[in-house]
Amino acid sequence: MLLAVLAVIAGFACGRIGGALVPVASSCAVGLGGLCLALTAPYAVPTPDVVTPMGRVGATAALLALSTGALCCAAWSARRRAARIALHLVAAGSVVVAAVVDSPSGITACAGVVLCSLAAARLRRRAIGLIGLGLSTAVMAGIGVALAKNVLPSGPTASLEAWLSPRRILLWRDALHLAGNDPALGTGPGRFEDLSPTLAQSPLSDGKPHSAVLQVAAEQGLVGVLLLATAYCWLLYVLWRSARSTQVVLAAGAALAAVAAMATVGNALSFTTVTVGVGLLAGIATAEPFTDGPPDDDVAAPEFLRSGHD
């Protein structure tokens, strides 16, 4: 947990510096670097031990979503219309990269981020978009908890269990049971691997319940869950207060929300590669560029590629 926090802080600081000095170049470097890593060395970012039928739900899918968000930020930071269109096309190419590395969840996440980025051209109040992204993450987390408690109707439960795999649901129920034993403070950091009956039957497992919310609830209790929720709300708040354009903010917010959603059903945040990427993208989206003024051809740009502010 401490390593993840330090990774996010380091990435955030670097992203703020790069976003202030060279917003387009820094965003492109983060986006293309992530895509190259996912394409040339997909196994350099490990995935959960449960990969069927969801595919590569772990760090690779999250890395692809962050790369797409960074490229969309670069597109909206560019002054020339041609550069914006070209960078959005490169961002859309991340869907192809996700298909090449066999990541169904990555395909969905990348396509969603690109669509959200394009839709942001018509949205002038970023608060609406950020609230929507926050609510979508909360809904994903709520569905995971409801599935672990087995309170959903039988039809949706059967469909979700087939999609997520029964073993993952058993891990979630173990985490929920441990959280119930000590709801305030949890069992202690790293204790889930020792106390989970499901993991005891699978010695080759990675020792994670594959849900950031349920893992924190089991190991750190209600206090940890509140801190995790506060951190995510703070991230949305600093995006809302960012001096960058609404399009840059919402493109980054969509990518970060995609990673948060994947973290509710996987262990993406367990990898330093992803936590550093989260910090980098958040820093880029909240930086204050030294160069001011609207894009040179803002008036001549098509409506769906114009920049706007709150």
Q: How many residues does the chain have?
A: 310
Structural Rg of the chain based on CA atoms: 19
Residue 184 is assigned to a structural domain of this protein: yes
The residue range of the domain holding 78 is 2-305
Spell out the residues 6+ positions from residue 184 whose beta carbon is closer than 8 angstroms to its own: 221, 222, 223
Residue 61 is assigned to a structural domain of this protein: yes
Residue 202 is assigned to a structural domain of this protein: yes
DSSP 301: S
Residue 239 is assigned to a structural domain of this protein: yes
Alpha carbon distance 192, 196 (integer Å): 6
Backbone angles phi and psi of 293, in degrees to 5: 100, 155
Alpha carbon distance 172, 273 (integer Å): 24
Residue 80 is assigned to a structural domain of this protein: yes
Residue 310 is assigned to a structural domain of this protein: no
To 5 degrees, how large is the angle CA 276–CA 240–CA 121?
95
Residue 277 is assigned to a structural domain of this protein: yes
Question: Mind listing the pLDDT tens digit of every residue in the chain (310 residues)?
Answer: 667 778 898 999 999 999 999 999 999 999 999 998 888 765 544 444 444 434 345 788 999 999 999 999 999 999 899 999 999 999 999 999 999 888 888 999 999 999 999 999 888 889 999 999 999 999 999 999 999 998 988 888 888 888 888 888 999 999 999 999 989 999 988 888 888 888 888 766 677 888 999 999 999 999 999 999 999 999 999 999 999 999 999 999 999 999 999 999 888 888 888 999 999 999 999 998 775 544 433 433 444 454 444 4
Residue 213 is assigned to a structural domain of this protein: yes
Number of domains in the chain: 1
Cis amide leading into 53 (omega within 30): yes
Q: What pTM, to 2 d.p., does this model score?
A: 0.88
